[in-house]
Structure 1
C-alpha cells in the first residue's frame, strides 16, 4: 500500500501523531509532518519552558538540531538531565512512557517507525518477534542513523509520494535494521542460502519496472512479484544487480527521459508526468543531479555535438 504524504504546520498542538501528549504549560510551536508506509517524520520547534508526558505507540527516534538542555524520565526510571549537542539522538521504544522538561527553545527532528516494520524484519531473521529495542537512558551518537535522518528530512521537503515512496522504504528498512542490530536484542539472519535472484525472477521484476515507470512503485509490490518480503528483496536485488531497487528505477527513468528529450516531441512537464516525477521542477533537479546537466542544457549539448 502506498503511504500517504502530508505536510502540516500548526500554532498550537496538543495531540501528536499517534502519541499521547499532555502538556502542563501552553505549548506554542511549529510542526511539520510527513508520512509514508510504516514511517512518519516530524519537525518540531517548541517554545520554553515546558513539561510534557508522552506514551509511545511507535518506535521513536529524535534528533537534536541544536545544543539544548533537557530533563527526561523513561517509564519509572530516574530523572536524568541531558546536555545535548546537535546530532545527538534519543531512542524511545513503542510502549514506553516519557516525561520531559525543557528550559529553552527545542528543535527536534523525529522519526516514528511502526512496530509492524521491525516485527517483519525480526521475522525475516528467522526468529519471529524475537527482538526488543533497548530503552536508551542516555542520548547516543550514531553517524548512520543521523545521515539517514537528514536524508529523510530532505526527502520530506522536496519529493512527492509517488516518486519518493520506494526510496523512503529503502531508507526506513535500513534505519530499522540498524536499530535492531545495534540497539536491540535479536540474531542475524544467514543470507548465504539466498544469494541472488534467478534469471527468470530478475527478468520478471525488470519487465514490470519498465512497464510501470510512470506509476508509483513500492518495494512491497516488487517483492510480491518474487514472493519475498521487502527487506530480503532489497538486499538480494542489490546483490544481484549491484544497485538498489530505487537506484535502478531512477536510472531507467533518467535513461528514458534522455531519449524523450532528444526526440523533441514532448515538453519537460509532459516527460515528468510520463515518467513518474512529482513535477517539472523535480524532474529537472533529479536529471541534473544524475547527468550533471539540466534537461535544457543536455539538449543544447547534444545539438552542439551533432554540429561539430
Structure 2
C-alpha cells in the first residue's frame, strides 16, 4: 500500500470491450503513487475528493501544468506511466475505464477512431462523459438485465472521446422498416439479454449511430424499450397466474424477486404484490 493510503476498494464490471472500475481510496495525508493499469489505454474520471485536491502527474516530482477542475478527467495511452498526487488527502473516488482497442475496432468498424487515445490529455472536463460514467458505475453488480444499458453507455463514452472537440450531432431517425425489424427481433428474444451490436447489425449501423437513431425514432433507448416490455411481461404473469415472485422474476429476466420488486415499483408506482391484488383476474 502506498504511503498514507489506508485502504483501496474496487468494483469492476465490463461491457462491450470496456472495463469499468469504481475505485474508493481512503488516505491520511500526502499521497503520491503510480496510477493503475499502465499497460492499458484508459480514462480516469475524478468523482469525489475530500481533503487535498488530486492531480495526475507525468513525472513524479513535477506538478500537473493544467489547472484543477472539479471532476477532472485524463486520457492515458497504453504504456504511459502516470502518477497520482494529493497534498492532504482523506478520501477520493474515481472511475477508471479501460479500453480494449482491438475489440472496439472489431465491433465499431468504420466508427472506430483511435487518434484521441494516442496522446495524454490531463485535467479536461466533459459533463456528458461524467454523466455516462456515473450511470455506468451505478449499475448494480451482476445485473445481467442491464447488458443493453452497459453496452449503450460505454459506446457513448467512447464515441464522445473519439469525437474530441467535434460536435456530436443528434441521431437521425431509423426508417420505419428498420424500427419494425428491431422491435420484432427484441420481442422475439425476450427476456434474453441482447447485446447492442446484435441490434445495430440488423440495420447495418454502428452501435453509437444505432443507439441514437433508435431513441430519436421511439423516444426510448434500446435498454429502456426492452425493460418496459419485460415489465409488461411481469404484469401479464401477475394477473394471469398465481406464480410466486421468484418464478415471475426468472421468467422475465430479472436476477431475483428483490430486483423485480425494485424495478416494478419504479415503473408502476407500487409493488408487484399490491398491483396484483388490484388487477388480479378472478
TM-score, with normalisation over the residues of structure 2? 0.80
Distance 1:188 1:47 in 2: 39
User: Do structure 1's residue 57 and structure 2's residue 44 form an aligned pair?
Assistant: no
Deviation of 1:70 after TM superposition, in Å, equals 3.4
State the distance in 1 between where 2:81 and 2:56 align: 10
The residue that corresponds to 2:156 in the other structure is 174
Structure 1 SS opposite 2:236: helix
Does residue 136 of structure 2 align to residue 152 of structure 1? yes
- In 1, the alpha carbon distance for the partners of 2:197 and 2:61 equals 39
Match of 1:97 in 2: 81
Mapped to 2, the partners of 1:188 and 1:26 lie a distance apart of 42
Secondary structure, aligned partner of 1:97: coil
2:19 corresponds in structure 1 to 39
Determine which structure has greater relative contact order: mean sequence separation of CA pairs < 8 Å that are 6+ residues apart, divided by chain length: 2
Per-residue displacement from partner, 1:118-143 (whole Å, max 9, x unpaired)? 75798545xx5363156443353x43
Aligned-partner Cα distance in 1 for 2:57–2:248: 53
- Does 1:292 pair with 2:269? yes
Q: Alpha-carbon deviation of 1:186? A: 5.9
Checking the alignment, whether the CA contact within 8 Å between 1:72 and 1:100 is kept in structure 2 is yes
Alpha-carbon distance in structure 1 between the residues aligned to 2:94 and 2:257: 29
Give the structure-1-normalised TM-score. 0.74
1:109 aligns with 2:109: no
Which residue number corresponds to residue 249 of structure 1? Answer: 226
User: How far did 1:59 drift?
Assistant: 2.0
Give the Cα–Cα distance (whole angstroms) in 2 for the partners of residues 35 and 52 of structure 1.
24
Q: CA 1:120–1:179 in 2, change beyond 3 Å: closer, same or farther?
A: farther
- Measured in 1, the distance between the counterparts of 2:73 and 2:94 equals 11
- What's the RMSD between the two structures over aligned residues? 3.3
**CA shift at 1:224, angstroms?**
2.6
Contact preservation (8 Å) 1:152, 1:168: yes
Task: Find the aligned partners of 1:190 and 1:246 in 2 and give their Cα distance.
Answer: 19
Equivalent pairs counted in the alignment come to: 272
Q: Find the counterpart in structure 1 of residue 200 from structure 2.
A: 223
- Taking the aligned partners of 1:288 and 1:228, their CA distance within structure 2 comes to 35
Q: What corresponds to 1:164 in structure 2?
A: 146
| Gaps in structure 2 of 5+ consecutive residues | none
Does the CA contact (< 8 Å) of 1:131 and 1:185 recur in 2? Answer: no
Q: Which runs of 5+ in 1 are unaligned?
A: 1-11, 13-22
